[in-house]
Homo-oligomer: A and B are copies of this chain.
Amino acid sequence: MISEARVSALRARMAAEQVPALAVTDPANVTYLTGFDGVFDEEPAHIALVTERATTLYTDNRYAEASSAASEGTGWEVRAAWPDLVSAACADLARDCIGRLALEDTASRRYFDSVESAFEGEVVAARGWVESLRAVKESAEVERIVHAQALTDAAFEHVLGTIRPGLTEREVALELEFHMRRHGSDGVAFPPIVASGPNSALPHARVTDRVIGHGELLKMDFGARVEGYCADMTRTVVVGKASERQREIYEAVRSANAAGIGAVRGGAKGREIDAAARSVLSDAGLGELFTHGLGHGVGLQVHELPNAGPRSEDVVSTGSVITIEPGVYVAGFGGVRIEDLVVVEEAGARVLTRSPKDLIEI
């Protein structure tokens, strides 16, 4: 599915920035450009080097065969080098008399230092060049996200039939994850969050062995992954009959979710979408308890561009895929978050999440 348009767009940016060579090291960016996604080491095990004329994937010996297979027909030349990819790439640049190299600024300072020692010319930092391309999805990318979200919805439907007081958070999280993976999810987009009772008041709680009690809020945030592409959804249920307070908070968050979705359209600002949802919670006197941004882009990474938080400068373009996930967190009591995944279309949001949003009492 790698499109030549990606490299062409990158070369246009490089020309505009007067950069004759760009070294891409971020694993998701390497995958986006070359098709290869076998990276899980801490150190960059690949350099995808784009120049005006060539596209070369420098790869650790351990990945040489897999890289060649994955990038077949993509126009990338694979060069195995070990242990020093940087020297190999810099030697090729010197041979081609290229004296200016941009390196992605997500690379570590240590990596920058090593490139600056090995490269004889000028090294500059590139910020978000590939990420900004990734923010707008091609239809084949959206298809993968749709597939991942369908696996995610199916796991939610399945787990609803298993939840009961007495289970632990970890048991529910494993059930969600195993269901997604047995049905074709390639790993998960992120470790599922299953947070019960007071734990649900932590926006990003880690799963614990806490036993889920009767009458408690249970917040589940999880996502499948298909061919590298992530899904992301949150639902909050009550394990028993909801109290008035639980229902009040739930309905406020649900209205905020609807308002956020209603504000989505191609060309809207991320912070405007956030504001539409946030104002609903502020009007309900819950604004201070919504302690994070409304949403973020989703693709090869579960958090990517564009950002839809209160301080975002991002424009949300037609073709982006973003989350809409307002939440209210009351320390000691619990929290509610309702998160949908939407495709940004010119006139509004196309919601990919199929799971119900009526308050579920189990």
A interface vs B, CB < 8 Å? 37-38, 40-42, 61-63, 65-66, 82-83, 103, 105-113, 125, 127, 174, 178, 181-182, 187, 190-191, 201-206, 291-292, 301, 303, 309, 311, 331
Q: Which of A63, A108, A182, A201 lies at the interface centre, i.e. has the most chain B CB atoms within 10 A of its CB?
A: A108
| Assembled-state Cα–Cα distance A291/B81 (Å) | 11
Q: A41-B303, A125-B109, A202-B66 are in contact. Are A182 and B174 (CB under 8 A)?
A: yes
Min distance, Cβ A356 to any Cβ of chain B, angstroms: 26
| Assembled-state Cα–Cα distance A112/B37 (Å) | 27
Chain B residues with Cβ below 8 Å from A41 are: 303
Is the beta-carbon distance between A206 and B108 smaller than 8 angstroms? no
| Contact among B61, B82, B191, B309 with A40 in the assembled complex (CB-CB below 8 Å) | B191
| Contact among B61, B103, B292 with A62 in the assembled complex (CB-CB below 8 Å) | B292
Q: Which of A66, A109, A301, A303 lies at the interface centre, i.e. has the most chain B CB atoms within 10 A of its CB?
A: A109
Is the beta-carbon distance between B303 and A42 smaller than 8 angstroms? yes
- Which residue of chain B lies nearest to A128 when distances are taken between CB atoms in the complex? B110
- Between A and B, 9 residue pairs with Cβ closer than 8 Å are A42-B303, A62-B202, A62-B204, A62-B291, A83-B309, A83-B311, A105-B113, A107-B108, A109-B125
Is the beta-carbon distance between B292 and A61 smaller than 8 angstroms? yes
| Assembled-state Cα–Cα distance A309/B43 (Å) | 15
| Assembled-state Cα–Cα distance A174/B174 (Å) | 12
| Assembled-state Cα–Cα distance A174/B108 (Å) | 33
Chain B residues with Cβ below 8 Å from A311 are: 83
Q: A40-B190, A108-B107, A112-B109 are in contact. Are A65 and B331 (CB under 8 A)?
A: yes
| Assembled-state Cα–Cα distance A65/B108 (Å) | 29
| Assembled-state Cα–Cα distance A106/B187 (Å) | 26
Chain B residues with Cβ below 8 Å from A106 are: 108-110
Chain B residues with Cβ below 8 Å from A82 are: 291-292
Min distance, Cβ A174 to any Cβ of chain B, angstroms: 6
Chain B residues with Cβ below 8 Å from A190 are: 40
| Assembled-state Cα–Cα distance A140/B233 (Å) | 38
Give the 8 A-B residue pairs with the shortest CB-CB distance, closest first.
A62-B203, A105-B110, A105-B109, A62-B204, A61-B291, A109-B112, A106-B108, A38-B206
Is the beta-carbon distance between B83 and A110 smaller than 8 angstroms? no
Min distance, Cβ A225 to any Cβ of chain B, angstroms: 11
Chain B residues with Cβ below 8 Å from A105 are: 108-110, 113
Is the beta-carbon distance between B108 and A201 smaller than 8 angstroms? no
Chain B residues with Cβ below 8 Å from A191 are: 40, 187
| Assembled-state Cα–Cα distance A16/B204 (Å) | 38
Is the beta-carbon distance between B66 and A206 smaller than 8 angstroms? yes
Min distance, Cβ A295 to any Cβ of chain B, angstroms: 14
